[in-house]
Amino acid sequence: MSSKPRMEDKLREKIIAQPDVILEDQDLMRALIAANERAMGGNIVDLRGIAMERLEARLDRLEDTHRSVIAAAYENLAGTNQVHRAILRMLDPLEFEVFLRDLGGDVAQILRVDSVKLVLESAQSDEAAAVARLGDVLSIAEPGFIEAYLTEGRGGPVRQVTLRQLHEGDIAVYGADAEFVRSEACLHLDFGEGRLPGMLVLGAEDPHQFTPQQGTDLLAFFTGVFERAMRRWLS
């Protein structure tokens, strides 16, 4: 007489009627595989069980990748919408003073940055200081200041978008906000032939908001639109 417990008829009928329920339950399948291995003994290598473990591990990796891809897609979409909203708000003002005020207000809030600063180079800037502040957002700098700032004095090519982490912001650029800035996005502005460059700086308290490893496509697009908006005010 067998000492193995007999499965109840009702449970057996339910399993036969709906076998997919067991196949789709990972915990049940693992339990069945473990029971099968115990029944075969420790000296028998179950190649099928090993293959299933490898398939499960591969499936887990694929699911993780799938979730990462979806999360990145949503993040990119959110970033695109964010930049588009900031551009539309930036194009609303009909006066330069309002334009500057919105940069430090609504545009900064939409982009979720803690500080927005616009630096323009001018040959007529105050010789006593490298940068002269004209309000909360706008500063006038001597020629060459922007290139030196973007390259950190090392020279070389100037990128359109520079992302970096900081120990502390530059007081010449950020003024009173400097001590709180831990990362920044620097947008180099080209206003056309015969004009000195400008720079729009987005500063953040979060040291991980802007890092060199991040993509710059959206900010490059924002830079292009900003350049065109500024040419309207400079003309």
Domain extent listing, the chain: 93-234
The backbone torsions φ and ψ at residue 70, rounded to the nearest 5 degrees and listed phi first, read: -65, -45
pLDDT for residue 139 is more than 60 = yes
Structure tokens at 146: 């922007």
Task: Give the pLDDT mean for 217-225.
Answer: 93
Task: Give the pLDDT mean for 184-199.
Answer: 93
Give the other-Cβ count within 10 Å of 100's Cβ.
19
Structure tokens at 66: 């799938």
The SS3 assignment for 159 reads: coil
- Cα–Cα distance, 198 to 119 (Å, whole number): 6
Q: What is the pLDDT of residue 132?
A: 66
Say which residues have a Cβ less than 8 Å from residue 118's Cβ, sequence separation at least 6. Answer: 100, 103, 137, 138, 139, 198, 199, 200, 201
- Cα–Cα distance, 230 to 121 (Å, whole number): 13
The answer as to CATH 1.10.3720.10 being correct for domain 93-234 is no
Helices (H) and strands (E) in the chain, counts: 9, 6
pLDDT in tens, 48-78: 666 767 777 777 787 777 776 776 666 667 7
pLDDT in tens, 79-129: 788 899 999 999 888 888 999 999 999 999 999 999 999 999 988 755 445
Kindly indicate the confidence band of residue 208, based on its pLDDT and cuts at 50, 70 and 90: very high
- Cα–Cα distance, 150 to 188 (Å, whole number): 8
How many Cα atoms are found within 13 Å in the side-chain-facing hemisphere of 147? 11
- Cα–Cα distance, 61 to 102 (Å, whole number): 46
- What amino acid occupies position 184? E
Q: What is the pLDDT of residue 85?
A: 92
Q: What is the pLDDT of residue 42?
A: 53
